Amino acid sequence: LASNPPLEQPDPLEQSEENAEQKEIELVFEDNANKDAAPDETAAKEPDMVPDPFAAPTEVSKLEARLPPHPATEEATPTKDGTKSDVVRNDLLDGLLGDEAEPSVVEDSTGLEGLLDSMDEEPQQVAAVPSGDDWALKELDSASLPDTPIPSASEIIPSGEVLEGVQLALGEEVHIGQELTEKRRELMQQETIHRPCVEKRDDGVLFCIDTIFWPLDIEEHFRVDTIMYQGTRAIARYDDGAATNFHSMFASSAFDIVANYYTTRYGPPTKSISRAIAPFAKPRQENPTMIWQSREPGTDLVVNLEIRKFDDARGGFPDIERGAIMLYKGVGEPIFPKLSQLELMVLEPDDKATAGLSASEPATPDSVW
């Protein structure tokens, strides 16, 4: 039999050194392996040592004894040992301290007291941040908007009665019989192309442009832009220095508003007339017309206030974009066709004309144009 080669025996000196190192390692592990000893006991034996709050947790029994049951073992309902918020606190501690926690860590973690106490309060509902689609307007809440529909003019029933002693007017105070101001008479003597009035005959017939002041809630409907005038004005006729006829315009779409305004002011109209117009390149259509009449005190003179949805009183084709409101005395002389639109283009309204030159001041190129 072949004999195995003799094994090399380690040097006794080296063997003794390895054994010594192994013993030292074992001693070190033995010192650190005393995990059952509580930190309080260690601190009592070695008063100079302070428990390390970051030491690896070793025992969970003491911590579990101080906290409510875990949700996995008991429902989150109010019990003798704790409430639903206590269960949430237990879960929070498990997440913060790990699967195992050292009692000393809980005692020293005073920074968590406020966080844990806040868990006892009822959670507040946090409104979700709306997305882009949520910002879109879904519907308009009209509860705060005024709901005052304007009645149709067709629902206004004429009374058939003539008013007695009621002064019919345009706007606030423009009425039949008002006198031509002395300022205008002076300006008629000035050498300027922009005169305040046009004199058609030598018998004292003048045509001017007067400013009308309407209530603010309906004023916008009387702001027109025509070649005759712009703004809230009226074309006026003066016979012997007194107003006998006015012609003003408004947006035809506001006919119901104007009709209701005068119905509220003077009552139902005296009469309503069914008229028709033939617009340019359009079929014939109705032109609703209402007339208020008032008899002057002590006389048989009747003043008429007439509104038409479409202005057909200026001759030619009717204006379907603008209505007409006319104030005239009896069957007095009309304004059109005696006055042409070209003559109206060079007239200055009364509020601009009265701010011009006085009779004592000479004419200048600026005043002429």
Give the three-state DSSP class for 322. strand
List the Cα angle 319/321/322 in 5-degree steps: 75
Q: pLDDT at position 20, please?
A: 52
pLDDT at 286 over 90: yes
Asked if 276 and 302 count as a contact pair (C-beta separation under 8 A), the reply is no
Query: At a CB cut-off of 8 Å and minimum separation 6, what does 358 contact?
Result: 186
The H or E element containing residue 236 is strand 233-239
Give the three-state DSSP class for 88. helix
What are 71-78's contacts with CB under 8 Å, separation 24+? none
Place of tokens 């004005």: 233
Q: Which residues pair with 243 in a beta bridge?
A: 238
Place of tokens 């509580």: 38
User: Where does the pLDDT of residue 280 fall: very low under 50, low under 70, confident under 90, or very high at 90 and above?
Assistant: confident
* Identity of the highest mean pLDDT range in 5-14, 211-220, 309-318: 211-220
**Structure-model confidence comparison of residues 343 and 192, the more confident one:** 343
pLDDT at 166 over 50: yes
**Bridge-based pairing state of the strands 163-164 and 289-295:** parallel
Q: In this structure, how many other beta carbons lie within 10 angstroms of the beta carbon of residue 176? A: 24
User: Where does the pLDDT of residue 76 fall: very low under 50, low under 70, confident under 90, or very high at 90 and above?
Assistant: very low
Q: pLDDT at position 139, please?
A: 55
**Structure-model confidence comparison of residues 344 and 166, the more confident one:** 166
Provide the phi-psi class of 259: left if phi over 0, else alpha when psi is between -120 and 50, else beta.
alpha
Instruction: Provide mean pLDDT across the span 291-315.
Output: 92
List the Cα angle 315/270/150 in 5-degree steps: 85
**Bridge-based pairing state of the strands 276-277 and 285-286:** antiparallel
Distance CA 157, CA 272 (A): 8
pLDDT at 105 over 50: no
Query: At a CB cut-off of 8 Å and minimum separation 6, what does 213 contact?
Result: 171, 172, 173, 232
Instruction: Provide mean pLDDT across the span 90-94.
Output: 58
Token pair listed for 147: 């709901």
pLDDT at 17 over 80: no
Instruction: Provide mean pLDDT across the span 206-213.
Output: 93
> Taking all residues of the chain, what is their mean pLDDT, rounded to a whole number?
73
HSE-up of residue 365 (Cα within 13 Å, Cβ side): 0
CA 86 distance to own-chain centroid: 49
**Structure-model confidence comparison of residues 11 and 342, the more confident one:** 342
Q: pLDDT at position 348, please?
A: 81
Q: What percent of the chain has pLDDT over 70?
A: 53
Place of tokens 């195992």: 100
Q: What percent of the chain has pLDDT over 90?
A: 33
Instruction: Provide mean pLDDT across the span 138-143.
Output: 49
What is the maximal distance between C-alpha atoms in the chain? 168
pLDDT digits (tens, 9 = 90+) for 223-240: 999 888 999 999 999 998
Q: pLDDT at position 363, please?
A: 46
Asked if 363 and 192 count as a contact pair (C-beta separation under 8 A), the reply is yes
Q: pLDDT at position 28, please?
A: 46
Place of tokens 């025992």: 59
Q: Which residues pair with 174 in a beta bridge?
A: 170
